[in-house]
Amino acid sequence: MFNMKTGTFVFVFIVHCLVLPERTQCVTQLFAKIPENTAVGEQVIRVQTTTLAAKEEVLCNITDGNIHGRFRVDHCVIEVARPLDFAINGKYTLTVKVAGAFEVCHVDVDVEDVEGYPPIYNDTCEMPVRSHVSKDRKQGHPAFNVDVTSEFMGKTGGIIPHRFNTKNVPNGRHPYSRTVQGYSNDDCLVGVMIAAHHPKDVRTLNGLWITNNGCLRCFHSQDPGYVLDFVLLNNGEYHCPLSKDLDFNHMSHFWRKHKYILFGSFIFQSSKTQHFFCELPQDGLSLLISRDGNDFDEILATHAELEFQPVGCPPNKYGPTCDQNCTCENGARCHGLSGACKCQPGWQGVVCDIPHSTVVITVTPSDSPHIYINGSLVLHCRYFHMEIKKMIWIFPNGTKRWLQKTQEDQVKIESIQSEHNGTYRCTVITEDGVLVNASYELRAVACPPGKMGEFCEDVCNCLHGASCDRWSGCVCPSGWTGTFCQTPCPVGTYGQDCSSECHCQNAVCDPTDGRCNCTEGWYGRDCLNPCSNGLYGWRCRYICGCKNNATCHHVDGSCKCMSPWAGQWCDVVQTGISPLLHILISLFISTLLISVVLLALHKWKRATRIGQDEGVEETQALLELRGKEEDLAQSLQPGWLNRWERSADDLTLDELIGLGTFAHVRKGYLRIDGVDTIVAVKSVRGEDRLCYRAFCREAAILIAVHEQGRAGTGASNIIKLLGVITKSRPKCILLEYAAKHDLLAFIKQQAGHDVVLPLGSLLRYAVHISHALQELRHLRIAHGDVAARNVLITEDDVAKLSDFGLAHDVYTATTYVSSAKKDEDELLPLKWMALESLESREFTCESDVWSFGVLLWEIVTYGEEPIYEHNMQLSCPKLVGILRRGIRLQKPPECPRKLYGVMMACWSEEPSTRPTPEELEHRLTECRHDIDPLFVVEKETTL
């Protein structure tokens, strides 16, 4: 009999001593005690009979008491045949029959409990199983890839980067004799021992010992409380304050063979890659490197970091070096570090080889994180090693289902909802009348990937590999923030939610992990150290050329000369310069600058005076445009305004159609080639700067569209321009007349009718406007106010985009809100504006797509005004805050899910991820077909 104590570190060493008598006389009862971790094949006790000759071969058989076949007998010696487990069976009474004799021996075997045995399958530090294994690797397959990145500063100058990765080490050429000491089952503590055997490695560690650098502490990049410690041992001795909590006694057999041993330990808590930054002295860690075995060169280790990537062991292998064979049976999973077995239902024991009568509920899919709202689930009630008569399912609402043993034992749940959550119980009645229970707790609370909201119908549209939370939306990976994770971390922050503060100085901070990328002239972990004297530039790679005791700047290598030296390299003797010459040069430069400013001011005043004298001309209009839209002004050809000028005598005004603060619209008749054509006349009511700017913008855009695009051909979804009047008062823009007026009024009328126009038909107008946006995008022109009120319906039932500059003036109820900027006097359609436009007052083709999404919402709601958080009146800052939190217009009750997905795509926070007008046309066509399967794609889209 023997016992064993386990160490506080990784390996458990078993030492036992059994005193076995050479011959044991068979008596009625024999006794033996063995620990439960006795290896298979170890002897328990010898049985010998005296009825036969001593030299005669005796055979013995175990006839009773050998539960689950834990023992066997060989030449009357009882041995352990299968692994023992005290928790399952702590005592065996074996009946041994001696062949050819009448004696029957009864052997009582007591199994003793051993602390820490059997190993427990710890899910916290579960390892992956490596699928691809190099067949020609001779040194094993470490369960971790270790990547070490470091920087050194040499006396000869320059930062020397060094990188070492264990997976790149060639076979048979390891620089170290590496022994990983295993792992602690309770807290997933992994220990690593590295024993140096190469002469160069021994000299390097000797340099560390001489410089009294025997310990190194590295901190996790995300959790400072997660520490990786290294301790240098010299023949078992150490001088490191970190080592007081560590026990090195079990390593004594290693330092008998190796003088220096580097020991490290860390807690393995995740299957993800773990990143550590090592704490080095501010001025660097001094190392002595020997090249010839006698003389040492001193270098400084300025930066060091490590990555531990769990890669796991090949199948049927375990241990930190994957050098142990798994013994698990019957489909059990083998733990990658400890070799502990995770038994399948119906089995138990150290290696899962002992039958276990039980009932379990298995789930498909088996991985609970993959059970989602709106998903499906199958529960199976399975029984093992028993005969049953009946089975009872009890559901969370208390209802029961009785099944005979021949009936289906599964429960299917389609489209999982919150009401399905709860405890599902299965009770089995055996043939003996025994009741055996099993239960499963369903807690489906997450949406499928990419979905969110109460009903998991909203689309997340997350970027950069972000996950999607049901309630909060996108959960950004390290380095990203924003509603859709579209924005890099602000400068000075990094990590998850950009919540960590960078400590870099003179460097660019990596937004993912906070690493410091030093700028020129600096080095070290936080880039706090300037290049040593005589070195400069990136990584201190360059040697200064300064002479005569000049000071070299560590950033650019510029020289600060000492008197009397001068020149780039301080190698020229300085000569005197008259102070009077300095004064004269300064006066000349100042006079020249003043003259240039006065000349420019004079020309500007002259141009302004000419514009006022000549009235509304192209020069003044272009000046107005260049103040806001330089690209549009440059695209106009000379004479652009005069080419479209119409005579006021050819225009006859009729009834008023629309009235605003700065403009009104009348129905009119324009004589063209002797024929009166019905037109819409948009007139400027005032002559202030804001009104004139809007007039210039609309006229310029319409002219550019008609001269460079398709609007002038009639095959366009942009309102047709018929002319302008600028040489008389009031100034006017002449447009084609839309008999059915604007889309907003049209759909509001539909809402008041008993029979409304179907949504599929209304979406036809949205398709038309997507064509208009395609035209504008081709011309690189932004509309700035895409909304139902600015869409006109012609007599031929074609939707056309209008109001490129004066829409803000014609509709001034609650739709437009005054700008908050002091230098701007304009009204803004806040609820239709993209987030970036609200913040910057800049409009692009992408911001038009956002507005188009609001237009779709107007169509589906038959003209309701957009409302955020039940608030009709919103200031610009408040609306920005709402949108930044990811809040968007709610899905209208009758809106198809697919169509709302189009809207949400238009409202993506990142402009580049919004759909193009071409994509909008395609997706809207699909939506129309889904709404009305009989829908036929129109061959023509415009007049």
Element (H, E) at 689: helix 689-708
The residue type found at 416 is I
547 is annotated as contributing to ligand binding? no
Residue with tokens 């609402």: 397
CA 304 to chain centre: 26
Helices 618-626 and 579-614 cross at an angle (nearest 10°) of 120
Residue with tokens 């994957």: 322
Phi, psi of 809 (to 5 degrees): -90, -35
User: 288, 207 in Cβ contact below 8 A?
Assistant: yes
User: 785, 852 in Cβ contact below 8 A?
Assistant: no
Residue with tokens 């065996």: 92
Phi, psi of 42 (to 5 degrees): -70, 145
Q: Rounded to whole angstroms, how far apart are CA atoms 852 and 244?
A: 68
User: 775, 717 in Cβ contact below 8 A?
Assistant: yes
Q: Rounded to whole angstroms, how far apart are CA atoms 763 and 941?
A: 12
> Three-state SS for 84?
coil
> Three-state SS for 124?
helix
Q: Rounded to whole angstroms, how far apart are CA atoms 937 and 926?
A: 10
916-920: which pairs have CB atoms within 8 A and are 24 or more residues apart?
A: 916/777, 916/849, 917/770, 917/771, 917/773, 917/774, 917/777, 917/845, 917/849, 918/770, 918/774, 920/770, 920/773, 920/849, 920/852
User: 91, 74 in Cβ contact below 8 A?
Assistant: no
Phi, psi of 298 (to 5 degrees): -95, 130
**Structural tokens at position 290:** 């020997």
CA 429 to chain centre: 49
Pairing of strands 663-672, 507-509: unpaired
Q: Rounded to whole angstroms, how far apart are CA atoms 810 and 815?
A: 11
Tell which residue, 37, 88, 118, has the closest CA to residue 355: 88
Those residues whose C-beta lies under 8 Å from the C-beta of residue 658, and which sit 6 or more positions away, are 664, 665, 810, 811
> Three-state SS for 482?
coil
Q: Rounded to whole angstroms, how far apart are CA atoms 850 and 843?
A: 11
478-485: which pairs have CB atoms within 8 A and are 24 or more residues apart?
A: 478/222, 478/511, 478/512, 478/513, 479/510, 479/511, 479/512, 479/513, 480/511, 482/909, 482/910, 483/883, 483/884, 483/885, 483/886, 483/909, 484/460, 484/908, 484/909, 484/910, 484/913
For the CA atoms of 156, 158, 163, 168, the dihedral, rounded to the nearest 10 degrees, stands at -70
**Structural tokens at position 407:** 């009936």
User: 831, 879 in Cβ contact below 8 A?
Assistant: yes
Q: Rounded to whole angstroms, how far apart are CA atoms 566 and 578?
A: 16
**Structural tokens at position 631:** 């690209």
Binding residues: 682
Q: Which residues are annotated as a binding site for ATP?
A: 682
